[in-house]
Structure 1
Amino acid sequence: MVPADADESTASPRVVPLSDETVARGPATAPAPLQAPAAASAAAKPAAPKSPRKKRILLGIGALAAVAAVYYGVNYYLVGRFIVSTDDAYVRANNSTLGARVAGHIAEIVPGDNTLVKAGQILFKIDDGDYKIAVDAARRKIDTQNATIERIGRQIGAQASAVEQAQAQLASADAAANRAQLEFDRQQTLSKQGFASRSVYETSQSNRDQTDASVKAAKAAIDSAKSAVDVTKAQQQEARAQLQELRSSLDKAERDLAFTEVKAPVDGIFSNRLVNLGDFITTGQRLANIVPLNDVYIDANFKETQLRRLKPGQPVSIELDADSSRKIEGTVDSLSPAAGAVFTLLPPDNATGNFTKIVQRVPVRIRVPADVAKQNVLRAGMSVYVRVNTKADAAPAQ
């Protein structure tokens, strides 16, 4: 016996009567005789029913997609549309550059590279032998000048005594002059009456003149003694002024001696050391850098089209490229008054040649909490991704 499936495939093809529509279209559209049985067989087979498990899976996927769409839609409406973000952001720090304030050989380097240092900690020691000698010399000069001032003071005292002595001599000369004047007046009266000899009269006149001269000499001695006192006092003032200069020289020598110890100005990480033990350094030469831990911030370059929604005090979510799993909260601190291109060495000049419009970026300063900065997680130069929540009632980050 021949199977039914075989019969249908091997039997002569049946003639299918043409419909009126087929006849109207013409012979070009008539179905081929060999294709008609296959089409009829395919149409005769019923479609395989879908399994209940597959239906449940498809329904579950559809439900999850709907929930996800609703969640992301609501999240965008409530939060997402207020977020302004950029990946053009970098960690910055106000690095302290250490420089030598005196010249000399490096005698000691105290901390190791890339180690934590405290403000006031000694970092470098410069050979201080010459500076100690300068301090000792300045102190000896001050001692000598003090002795000079003391000697001048004694001279002033002696000259003051000379003034007093001259004044006493003047008083004595005045008394002698008064007696001589009285004697002269008496002899002159007697001479006119003819009771005194000519020689006695002339002697009294000579005594009067001598005593007057003694008075003038005493007065001149007083003036000279006073002038000597004034000159000596001027010398004393000059010596005191020189003493102040010597003290200033001592202060400078002591200051230079103190500068032989280079100390850390702030707390931070000691790095980028540029000198070695025994190197001779000059005044102003750069020695190393200190990256402070309490002065770390982020400069994010936002497009100019994003600025209208940014304001100081808005909370910021910070994601580190080095550790994307860690999120840090910050706060918008300030917005730059100009685009970054304005502060470049050669600002762009669009007034000449062809013009291609480029969206400018404006630096925005973002502050991070002090406790986070001190953890040394944010290192200067690192790249970060920032998201600013510009919603009006968003709470500023602490």
Structure 2
Amino acid sequence: MSEQPSRHDDAPAQQDPPDHEAEEKKPSPLKNPKVRWALIIGVNVVLAVLVIWLFYHLLIGRYLQDTNNAYLQADAVAVAPRINGYVTEVLVQDNQQVKAGEPLLRIDPRTYRATLDQAEAVIAVRQADIAAATAGVQGQQASLIQARTQSVAAAATLRFAKAEVARFAPLAASGADTHEHVESLRHDLQRAQAQYDAAQAQITGAQSQIQASQAQLEQAQAGLKQAQADAAQAAVAFEDTELRARIDGRIGNKTVQVGQFVAAGTRTMTVVPVASLYIAANFKETQVGLMRPGQPATIKVDALPGVDLHGTVESISPGTGSQFALLPPQNATGNFTKVVQRVPVRIKVDAGTEARQVLVPGMSVDVTVDTRGNKGARERTRDEAEAGKDR
């Protein structure tokens, strides 16, 4: 009984040496020519890929600046009335395409129509006042002409009376004529003088009346201008009862309904110019060193997978995004951590009709800008800095 386990234990020990010998005699995979050639080819392919990537990076890749912090935007126009009133008609629906000048909604025009009619009636009154004042001026001018004619006649009579007195006074003194006749001539002279003075007074009065009538005419003309201005303002208010689209676009965010009271300045809807989309791309400040307006851009939109759109850099913001924030950062404190800033870049989108049916403001995009056209900017900047240092 005690020997059996020892025999069972010795049996495997006697079989082990053949297995180790088999493993030692197994050839290495590296000695296989196929394996060696596969390794050589694989290493060469990896090296070739690395060399190609290095050349691509040095010649092209390092000049391609990309970011996914970019969004489609459009300069939408809010439609808001300039007057108060109740909405009587809404002529468009949500997401409807509209053209510039197309009517969008109407406000009850009756009050503004009545105000316009009243203003036009005031114009008619002022025009009648002008006609009356003009007639008054013309009448006073005729009176002035009559007064001047009478003054001429009175002056002639006065001259004749003076001549008669001067001729007959010496005769009466010498006894050749009677004193009664001379007194009668002197009386005629005084009457002629009085008539002449009255004619002169009439001329002065007529001139004053003309000035007064002219002032009334000018006042009536000023009243007409004010009435015309009021009528023009009333006409504008009446025209504002119909709101029209200012630009081509698509209706969005419509919140107005028939029967609703809208106050001046209340947003009723928005016209989005989907045909004039652009991209607001926020590049890191380390990426904009070679970026300039006019450089080409490649655009990838999440809504159009596998489609590369094209665009052009239009402008670069004059400040980082943080500078235009509601509360710009103040770093003049003891606690400061440098953070890479983002610079907004506006990129024009060159898309066809089919793509524009899908593109809407707010979509996320990936943008890559090719800055190779300005690859010598760093050298020029360095040369300018060196030249400034030498001065």
Instruction: Tell me the TM-score normalised to structure 1 length.
Output: 0.82
Considering only CA atoms, is the larger Rg found in Structure 1 or Structure 2? Answer: 1
Alignment of 1:133-212 (within 5 A): 133-212=114-193
Unaligned runs of 5+ in 2: 1-9, 376-391
Q: Does the 8 Å contact 2:29/2:35 carry over to 1? A: no
Tell me how far apart the structure 1 counterparts of residues 176 and 88 of structure 2 sit (CA, whole Å): 105
1:84-117 Cα deviation digits (max 9, x unpaired): 1111111111111122111111111111111111
* Percent of residue pairs identical: 34
Instruction: Confirm whether residue 264 of structure 1 aligns to residue 245 of structure 2.
Output: yes
- Aligned pairs, number: 366
SS of the equivalent of 1:305 reads: coil
Structure 2 CA distance for partners of 1:59 and 1:159, relative to 1, 3 Å: same
Tell me how far apart the structure 1 counterparts of residues 279 and 57 of structure 2 sit (CA, whole Å): 26
Structure 2 CA distance for partners of 1:324 and 1:353, relative to 1, 3 Å: farther
SS of the equivalent of 1:378 reads: coil
More helix by percentage = 2
Aligned to 1:225: 206
How far the C-alpha of 1:197 sits from its partner, in A, is: 3.3
Among 283, 307, 314, the alignment partner of 2:288 is 307
2:90 corresponds to which letter in structure 1?
I
Among 71, 75, 78, the alignment partner of 1:97 is 78
Unaligned runs of 5+ in 1: 1-8, 14-33
Q: How well do the aligned residues superpose, as a CA RMSD in angstroms?
A: 3.1
Alignment of 1:338-353 (within 5 A): 338-353=319-334
Among 74, 83, 94, the alignment partner of 2:64 is 83
Among 338, 348, 364, the alignment partner of 1:367 is 348
How far the C-alpha of 1:176 sits from its partner, in A, is: 2.4
Aligned to 2:381: none
Tell me how far apart the structure 1 counterparts of residues 203 and 354 of structure 2 sit (CA, whole Å): 80
Alignment of 1:1-398 (within 5 A): 10=11, 13=14, 36-44=17-25, 72=53, 74-369=55-350, 371=352, 375-392=356-373
1:270-321 Cα deviation digits (max 9, x unpaired): 1112322111112222222111134311111111121213222221110001
1:88 corresponds to which letter in structure 2?
N
SS of the equivalent of 1:301 reads: strand
2:340 corresponds to which letter in structure 1?
V
Tell me how far apart the structure 2 counterparts of residues 180 and 337 of structure 1 sit (CA, whole Å): 95
How far the C-alpha of 1:71 sits from its partner, in A, is: 5.4
SS of the equivalent of 2:373 reads: coil
SS of the equivalent of 2:368 reads: strand
Tell me how far apart the structure 2 counterparts of residues 11 and 384 of structure 1 sit (CA, whole Å): 70
1:296 corresponds to which letter in structure 2?
L
2:367 corresponds to which letter in structure 1?
V
Structure 2 CA distance for partners of 1:284 and 1:373, relative to 1, 3 Å: farther
SS of the equivalent of 2:312 reads: strand
Structure 2 CA distance for partners of 1:10 and 1:98, relative to 1, 3 Å: same
Instruction: Tell me the TM-score normalised to structure 2 length.
Output: 0.83
Structure 2 CA distance for partners of 1:211 and 1:61, relative to 1, 3 Å: same
Q: Does the 8 Å contact 1:294/1:370 carry over to 2? A: no
How far the C-alpha of 1:124 sits from its partner, in A, is: 1.4
1:203 corresponds to which letter in structure 2?
S
Q: Does the 8 Å contact 1:268/1:292 carry over to 2? A: yes
SS of the equivalent of 2:314 reads: strand
1:337 corresponds to which letter in structure 2?
P
Structure 2 CA distance for partners of 1:188 and 1:320, relative to 1, 3 Å: same
How far the C-alpha of 1:369 sits from its partner, in A, is: 2.3
How far the C-alpha of 1:123 sits from its partner, in A, is: 0.8
Q: Which moved more, 1:336-345 or 1:111-120?
A: 336-345
Q: Does the 8 Å contact 1:145/1:243 carry over to 2? A: yes
SS of the equivalent of 2:286 reads: helix
2:111 corresponds to which letter in structure 1?
D
